[in-house]
Amino acid sequence: MESPSGRRRLGAQPPSGAGRNCRPRPCQGGDGGEVDRISGLNDDLLIQVLVRLRCAGAAVRTGVLSRRWRGLWRYLPEHYFRGIAYDAVKAAPAQIALPKLFLLDIDIPSSLSAEAAASLLRTAARYLDPVELSIKLYSANPIGIQMPSFARARSIRLNVNQLHLTPPARGGEFPVLERLSITNCRFDAGALISRCPRLRVLELICCRALDTITVHSATVEELLVTGEGRRLRGVDIMAPLLKKFTLHSDVSVDFSMSLLAPTVENLSWNCRFDYCLDPDKAVGIDASGTWRWSLIHLKLGREERGFLLGLDIRRLPYITPVRSLQEMFQFPDISVLELCLNTRGHAYGAVVLKLLRTCSAIQRLKLVDQLDTISEACLPSCPCDQSSDWRSLNISLTGLEEVEIENFRGSGHEVDFLKLLFRCAPLTKVIVKLASNVVVRSRGCNEAYNIFKANPAVECHVYRKHGKEVIYS
């Protein structure tokens, strides 16, 4: 029996003959004499074969094998329209026999108008109503369309370049949606999320029009935000059930974060600061009363000990700080601190001490002094190396046990920094890797060796640049 629209209302059942065990038959429409053992399978199995092709065009073309295969594609619970022209995709729903699909995957390579894109989404929602939906399309010009509601969808992936999606009409929502992934799209995140009462996983990928990501949800457990090539200005998250938060994006120098997620366990941040539009402004780190150190790159991740914070910091002749690091991010308790410093030949003790005060609960410190071709040694009046500054200070680093310093050159401020660490922390292991041009018996290196000898309970190792250990005893 067929509906007025001409589509057979057979539910999930294939056409007559489904479930029957058929004996092998000669190929019909093939070469003739050979036995066709595949076509002898029941319709349910043949449909499973077609589903595994993951291509609507290939499924249709199986009709040339035998009359037995013709039209079976219309009963597939999963349809993949990838690399197929819009007109063919537009005509397909009228031929699909099932009133509801499990999966619909559409990838149209050509540019669409607003009317075509909106029509495609409406047709998918009204006639196919899939449980899992994946749509990839784009327009040459920015266009706005209304997102229809999908009553049965549990997973939706949208890669809709140049489209500006607005939420469904009043009353429209996604009542059972659990996973939502949106790529290259303009939309009101808050308005759309409010229509998803069961949303658990949210992915926002390269949604460049979203200057600030706002996620207020009582159900979201996983959040992924990526934005390579964009300048994210802020993150506002209120999610009591959030367990995992991944943020990988270029961020503005006036970036701010509001994170209210008391149950979060897994944080992964990778943020690069973009100074192209205003190079004189920076995320500054105050050291010795002067703003000369700028944050370039920040990484936060989880490892066996706990959270690891990695910072790339560069010394500049002069900067105008917009925000401090502590004002911008809400950090968890940090167990491992890794610093990559482009010092340009300046003393780094004050800036590292500033960061150690912020992360006073760390257990491990790794410090890499980047070797720069542009080097300018601190003058006697340089704020980085004032005699009455950080050298005489004491801070509580009761958890710090392991220290690794790479590209150690034996300068006075480096030796003084080692003394400070041995004085302020209950160290158990210290590894020092010398810079390539350092003489292992230089005055500075010998001073470091004497510090190690004075602390026999601490396991200390010194290595040349290429890995060979230095015997200093």
How far is the CA of 176 from the CAs of 154, 241, 391, in angstroms? 6, 18, 60
Q: Which residue bears the tokens 């040459």?
A: 140
Dihedral of the CA atoms 119, 122, 126, 132 (nearest 10)?
Answer: 120
Give 94: exposed, middle or buried? Use CB within 10 Å, 0-12, 13-18, 19+. Answer: exposed
Residue 167 pLDDT level (bands cut at 50, 70, 90)? confident
Average of per-residue pLDDT across 226-249? 89
Give 350: exposed, middle or buried? Use CB within 10 Å, 0-12, 13-18, 19+. Answer: buried
pLDDT value, residue 182: 92
pLDDT value, residue 336: 96
Dump pLDDT digits (tens) for 92-139. Answer: 888 898 889 999 999 998 888 888 988 999 999 999 999 999 999 888
Cα dihedral across residues 190, 191, 192, 193: positive or negative: positive
C-alpha 107, offset from chain centre: 23
pLDDT value, residue 99: 87
Cα gap 76→130, rounded to integer Å: 12
Is residue 23's pLDDT more than 50? no
**Residue 139 identity:** S
Q: Which residues pair with 166 in a beta bridge?
A: 146
**Contact yes or no for 190/168 (Cβ under 8 A):** no
Cα gap 62→50, rounded to integer Å: 8
**Contact yes or no for 238/216 (Cβ under 8 A):** yes
Highest-confidence range of 191-205, 271-285, 318-332, 375-389, by mean pLDDT? Answer: 191-205
In the three-class reduction of DSSP (H, G, I as helix; E, B as strand; rest coil), residue 387 is classed as coil
**Contact yes or no for 409/441 (Cβ under 8 A):** no
Q: Give the DSSP letter string of 367-380.
A: EEE---SS--PPPT
Highest-confidence range of 191-195, 402-406, 412-416, by mean pLDDT? Answer: 402-406
Angle at 160 between CA 232 and CA 236, to 5 degrees: 30
**Contact yes or no for 210/183 (Cβ under 8 A):** no
Residue 349 pLDDT level (bands cut at 50, 70, 90)? confident
CB 473: neighbour CB atoms within 10 A? 6
**Contact yes or no for 98/75 (Cβ under 8 A):** yes
Q: Give the DSSP letter string of 258-293.
A: EEE-TT--EEEEEEEE--SS-TTEEEEEEETTEEEE
Residue 386 pLDDT level (bands cut at 50, 70, 90)? low
Residue 25 pLDDT level (bands cut at 50, 70, 90)? very low
Dump pLDDT digits (tens) for 213-232. Answer: 899 999 999 999 998 767 78
Dump pLDDT digits (tens) for 33-74. Answer: 566 667 677 878 888 888 888 888 888 888 777 777 888 888
Kindly give the pairing relationship between strand 201-205 and strand 132-146. Answer: unpaired
Cα gap 290→69, rounded to integer Å: 77
**Residue 154 identity:** R
Q: In angstroms, what is the C-alpha Rg of the chain?
A: 31
Q: What is the average pLDDT value for the chain, to the nearest integer? A: 83
Residue spans of the domains in the chain: they are 1-76, 275-473
Is residue 187's pLDDT more than 70? yes
pLDDT value, residue 17: 37
Q: Please write down the long-range contacts of 467-473, taking CB distance under 8 Å and 24 or more positions apart.
A: 470/434, 470/440, 472/440, 472/445, 473/449
Cα gap 335→322, rounded to integer Å: 28
Q: What letters, b where the CB count within 10 A reaches 16 and e where it falls short, cover 286-314?
A: ebbebbbbbbeebbbeeeeeebbbbbbbb
Is residue 447's pLDDT more than 70? yes
pTM of the model: 0.81
Is residue 288's pLDDT more than 60? no
In the three-class reduction of DSSP (H, G, I as helix; E, B as strand; rest coil), residue 96 is classed as coil
